[in-house]
A = this chain, B = another copy of it.
Amino acid sequence: MHRDRFYTLSASCPDQVGIIACVTGFIAEHKGWILESSFHSDEMTEQRAARYFIRIEVKADSLPFMLTEFRERFRPIAESLQMDWRINDSAVKKRVVLMVSKQEHCLYDLLARWQSKELDIEIPCVISNHDTFKGFVEWHGIPFHHVPVTAETKVQAFAEVQRLFEESHGDTMVLARYMQILSPELCAAHPGKILNIHHSFLPSFVGAKPYHQAYQRGVKLIGATCHYVTADLDQGPIIEQDVIRIDHSDSPNDMVRYGKDIEKTVLARGLRYHLEDRVLTHGNKTVVFR
């Protein structure tokens, strides 16, 4: 993370000769100072054509114009390369809505990172299907919305969640051990903007009680997976994963406890990559420029 204000261009396009030269040529022409740059060529497979991925950080005050003009001037280049692209300003904080239930570890962890500005974001609100953390969240000066979810009220509840997210101009929604399955409508409304932390090393142990499944199978490591939420449960593009060693003496309850340490760090890492525009999706996979 650089101290100076910078713009982050992230893009993907069909692979061809000269992409880097074209993009960095444009930046150099305007005396743009590149702080960091990453490129990746995803080789053609039977399923996919070859595609090129780009992430560039340019020092803001090295350019003779602001972001609006950058966008305008860069557009013809992007179009000629058939790019999917976006450019963000490090001075504009991302707005992250947290979704929680009754478990504390990811919530405490994210709020600690937020209050120390390690995560330099706005948290417009926290939404929960329980009121367990109302006082804790509000003490931090963050609005808390209690939106109960029952089998009968599910549709309305998630309509309300979606309304709150949009009303607070959220850029990103984080399921920080939120124990409800989002409605397909909500998933579809914000693709690539909703992150979940799943408490297993996917694709092992999809669904409920993964630590109990892990205990039954007798695995020697347990893990956690941060992924984008799609309508298919636990099947979205994986952003980050990690594992921790266990042994025969660990009960499912011990695994739950160990797992929390992995869950919160994997979620925090995945969220950081996402917020810094380091994650580009390609079908059901991700390119993560760490």
Chain A positions near chain B (C-beta within 8 angstroms): 1, 17-18, 20-22, 24-25, 27-29, 31-43, 62, 103-105, 107-109, 111-113, 115-116, 118, 135-136, 139, 201-205, 217-221, 223, 237-243, 247-249, 251, 253-254, 257, 260-261, 265, 268, 284-288, 290
Contact = CB atoms under 8 A, between A and B. Distances in A.
Given A17-B31, A17-B62, A112 B116 contact: no
Nearest to A205: B203
Nearest to A239: B220
B17 A28 contact: yes
Contact of A28 (B18, B111, B202, B260): B18
Given A109-B112, A115-B104, A260-B118, A220 B238 contact: yes
A260 B109 CA distance: 11
A47 to B, nearest CB: 8
A21 B17 contact: no
A22 B268 CA distance: 37
A20 B24 contact: yes
Given A22-B28, A104-B115, A104-B116, A221 B243 contact: yes
B248 A287 contact: yes
Given A18-B28, A36-B249, A217-B285, 17 more contacts: A1-B257, A17-B28, A17-B31, A20-B34, A21-B24, A24-B24, A36-B41, A43-B251, A103-B116, A104-B116, A108-B109, A118-B260, A135-B139, A220-B239, A221-B241, A248-B287, A248-B288
A242 B221 contact: yes
Nearest to A242: B221
B254 A265 contact: no
17 contacts: A17-B33, A20-B20, A20-B34, A21-B21, A21-B27, A21-B28, A24-B24, A36-B249, A40-B248, A105-B113, A136-B139, A139-B139, A202-B219, A203-B219, A204-B204, A220-B239, A221-B223
Given A21-B21, A248-B42, A253 B31 contact: no
B288 A247 contact: yes
Contact of A219 (B34, B217, B241, B290): B241
A239 B36 CA distance: 22
Contacts of A104: 112, 115-116
